[in-house]
Structure 1
């Protein structure tokens, strides 16, 4: 384990659950992560919250590398963090009882492989799997069923690129703190307590700690 104020630049890419929509403290889990790295680990990190609300993997694929390279400098190590999937799984078109995904599973899988494969060649990369939406109506249950499928695809993709993957789908589907926070939010975005819980799960992850040198 290394010590001292290592100035990592951590780029956090994703959608509104990265951005922190409905977070009373603003900043979502990236802000909380940066605060804990500074206060508890004494690391002089720079956190870039690069989440865009409603963005699918189509949009992320088009922008992430340009935005990452703008923030990379030789003097400081860079870590790239990604979390996406909910918008791909969301309803694109409602035809009575039938709905279609905004991005098909095959397209989402292809986008994810392209993003993560290129990111892993550019800098140390971490992948946080999609979080469950509220376990309630038939509509949200359908989204969760899609997310469960995407999560398995993403997990296998991460293994293929040897990229650490934090599998959060089942945990957030069953976690009462997360589900209560979604009920206080809008069913897709939690309130402050949900972001606190999500940040705690990420903070406890060995993949993160290894990437920033807190453990071997």
Structure 2
């Protein structure tokens, strides 16, 4: 393992699946990554969990840069991490139209390109793809179909900006640990075990290892 840079300041942006809703340990996968960096890699890393429940890419686009710049210090290496999409794909509940997305695919794609493009010019950027919701009812199946489409759009966008992208959609749709954790949660948010699983997948990802200096 390379000694790499220490003292990273890592800003994790997204929605409730970043924030850690229904996580018994609190803090979601960002907290788990920070803990492992300290305990296993002996890295004094500052993790900022900047997830907001129910936020779409419209809200994220308006706030992320201001919040990131408040936390970025030139003396320390900075990393920006993003994970979003489930709320864009969710139903417009206040209109009672299950067939209508909260944010259209075209708008979600444009928002993602604006966010990731600007972030990648500001600091090293990592993009964690959206996780599947529970594979169950017609309503959740419809959301997963939308997420599959958004995931492909996001993957191509990441390639265009040369930003590392961790594709989690197919994995979490079929992963027994994730799906069981969703059943113990509310179908959209897992219990503790689900956040453990996502943190494991990120920790094992080469994009993460390279960004924090855990591999040559």
Shorter-chain TM-score above 0.5: yes
**Which residue of structure 2 lines up, in the alignment, with residue 187 of structure 1?**
187
**Which residue of structure 2 lines up, in the alignment, with residue 107 of structure 1?**
107
**Which residue of structure 2 lines up, in the alignment, with residue 164 of structure 1?**
164
**Deviation sequence 1:73-125 (CA, Å, 0-9, x none):** 11100000000000000001434xx5200000000000000000000000000
**Which residue of structure 1 lines up, in the alignment, with residue 134 of structure 2?**
134
CA contact (8 A) 2:19 2:50 kept: yes
**Which residue of structure 2 lines up, in the alignment, with residue 78 of structure 1?**
78
**Worse-superposed segment, 5-14 or 169-178:** 5-14
CA contact (8 A) 1:5 1:44 kept: no
- Where in structure 1 are there 5+ consecutive unaligned residues? none
Give the Å deviation of 1:5: 6.9
Q: TM-score, normalised by structure 1?
A: 0.97
Q: How far apart in 2 are the matches of 1:65 and 1:111?
A: 13
Q: How far apart in 1 are the matches of 2:144 and 2:4?
A: 42
**Which residue of structure 1 lines up, in the alignment, with residue 155 of structure 2?**
155
Structure 1 runs (4+) greater than 4 angstroms displaced: none
Secondary structure (helix, strand or coil) at the match of 1:23 reads coil
Give the Å deviation of 1:191: 0.2
CA contact (8 A) 2:5 2:213 kept: no
Q: How far apart in 2 are the matches of 1:155 and 1:5?
A: 28
**Which residue of structure 2 lines up, in the alignment, with residue 118 of structure 1?**
118
- Where in structure 2 are there 5+ consecutive unaligned residues? none
RMSD over aligned CA atoms reads 1.0
Size of the alignment, in residue pairs? 214
Q: How far apart in 1 are the matches of 2:213 and 2:32?
A: 18
CA contact (8 A) 1:4 1:43 kept: no
CA contact (8 A) 1:89 1:143 kept: yes
Q: How far apart in 2 are the matches of 1:148 and 1:195?
A: 20
Q: How far apart in 1 are the matches of 2:160 and 2:213?
A: 23
Q: How far apart in 2 are the matches of 1:197 and 1:64?
A: 26
Q: How far apart in 1 are the matches of 2:119 and 2:2?
A: 25
CA contact (8 A) 2:79 2:123 kept: yes
**Which residue of structure 2 lines up, in the alignment, with residue 39 of structure 1?**
39
CA contact (8 A) 1:4 1:42 kept: no
Q: How far apart in 1 are the matches of 2:200 and 2:73?
A: 29
